[in-house]
């Protein structure tokens, strides 16, 4: 899958994880990958099981029931330099890079797996979080999806 440069968003800030997830969903809607109902399914998915993956990344995506809202596979990459807490005040889980995804069929599983492998190396996450341009982000991730 090609990364769409218009879906790479640098220097974003969010007060809550729900705001961050809804932003990712809105990017996917705007690009024509999902119907608007997918956004609520992304929030619901995080409520069922956190989309925080460790190593300062979160991968917001919809529930299985929301697969019918996916029109085409897509991914948005959102850089959050100040971070957004996907945990609690007592146990913060701060994400500085968000990968909002929608996959046709089982494609989302493959996308999550590839992102997880790339981000298992925290140096890669730091490079994404520090990237100063959309091209830098796309170049870093070109081998992933």
Phi, psi of 137 (to 5 degrees): -60, -50
Burial class (CB in 10 A: 0-12, 13-18, 19+), 35: middle
Question: Can you say how many angstroms the Cα of residue 61 is from the centroid of all Cα atoms in its chain?
Answer: 7
- CB neighbour list of residue 99: distance below 8 Å, 6 or more residues apart: 57, 58, 59, 60, 75, 76, 77, 78, 111, 115
Q: What is the DSSP letter of 144?
A: T
Q: Which residues are catalytic?
A: 61
């Amino acid at each position: 899958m090609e990364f769409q440069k218009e879906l790479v968003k640098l220097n974003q800030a969010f007060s809550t994880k729900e705001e961050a997830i809804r932003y990712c969903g809105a990017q996917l809607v705007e690009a024509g990958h999902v119907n608007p109902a997918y956004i609520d399914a992304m929030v619901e998915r995080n409520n069922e099981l956190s989309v925080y993956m460790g190593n300062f990344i979160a991968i917001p995506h919809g529930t299985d029931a929301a697969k019918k809202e996916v029109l085409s596979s897509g991914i948005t990459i959102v850089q959050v330099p100040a971070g957004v807490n996907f945990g609690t005040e007592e146990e913060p889980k701060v994400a500085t890079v968000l990968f909002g995804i929608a996959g046709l069929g089982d494609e989302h599983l493959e996308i999550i797996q590839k992102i997880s492998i790339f981000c298992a190396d925290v140096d890669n996450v730091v490079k994404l979080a520090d990237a100063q341009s959309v091209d830098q982000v796309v170049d870093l991730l070109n081998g992933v999806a």
